[in-house]
Chain A
Amino acid sequence: MNIITRNSAKFLSIAAVAALALSGCSAAAAPELDYKACAVSDEGSWNDKSFNQSVMDGLMKAKDELKVQTADAESNSAEDFAPNLQQMVDANCDITFAVGFNLVADVNAAAKANPDVKFVTIDGWSEGNANLKPVNYAMEQSSYLAGYAAAAYSTSKVIGTYGGMQIDAVTAFMDGYYYGAQAWAADNNTTIKVLGWDPAKKTGDFMGDFTPNSAVSKTIAATQIQGGADVILPVAGDQFGAVSEALDEAGSAGVMIGVDKNIALTSPEYADKMLTSIEKRMTTAVFDIIKGIAVDKVDFSGDAYLGTLANGGTALSDSDKITGDLKTKLDELSAGIQDGSISVRP
């Protein structure tokens, strides 16, 4: 099979040279580095313009810039996680990224069964496996800023949020959003209503899965819009089509807040409806981890990586809807969160 792959790579590069003037579709060159980085998706596809895609972008960046070899597999259901991870081990991957909290049990099992293979779990944790590196994000920090901005932007002073599943990786966004909004209310001696999440009682609106733009998603969004919300934060990958439709059908001039990537850039069709996006910069983390081991020859470590405002692992996207005093205030808050003077979960 290797020979065949090499053959197709050879023919590909010949074709690429021949087609140089024509288009950019054959830009890929033969991988040169003897290092194979692989990834297994959570339920949903790599081109979800959000969670899974951030990781895939990191992998592709490593392929293009570092010339590492790559392999990937999408999971259609929870039943696919274990076979997909096994496939990466069998394909002799040097490192495998398991994307998402839902894979945590399977990736720990795979790490335990293959102690000489390195794994990374995004949003998961290691159950004592030295060859498994957890990558986590303090999403409550940037979400606090988003909540503050949402409360300031809202005219109805009702804002909404909902999640895919009630797991820590999702509710971290919703916690920060809630407390950020309350902070704005306290600063302005008024009240703000947050629909869809109550961090004290730990109850809220959840879809039950991460199906992109599902009917359930649209129903939840429509209900929150009916309840007066004019800023909506869906924390479930790509739900921006569903929220956008719900806003249009209700004749609302409301906006939404993106997650994981800068949605105004990845889905420009919704750019005018985006207040901002809460970026979870997994692309950078994935690329840095691969580069560290494959190029800089740093030993793999099972220590957890935590993305924060301080190390730039998470941040709010720039937006033309957040300017002037509000932007200055958000920068102040960000500095306060970084130096510890502001607690995002009071």
Chain B
Amino acid sequence: MFIHTIMTNIEKYNNAFVEGLEIPVEQVEGLTMEGCDKWDSIGQMSLIAVLEDAFGIELAPDEVMAFTSYAAGLDILKNHQIDL
């Protein structure tokens, strides 16, 4: 039987960290750039690319710069009218 599941926005958001930074989902909440070795400038590019794809948005360069923590990312997405 084929079961089709639709991810919630928060699941999509968490999954962007999993896919973009290649970390387990348990580590995602509360994550900061400083506290994660894989969240370097290269990880940032990858995370943003996955996130933009997942939500169909384009982040401005100043938003990319401000995206330095899990919490900051939530605020940025809310500014794009994404309910989380």
A and B: bona fide binding partners: no
Give B contacts to A, CB under 8 Å.
Answer: none
Give A contacts to B, CB under 8 Å.
Answer: none
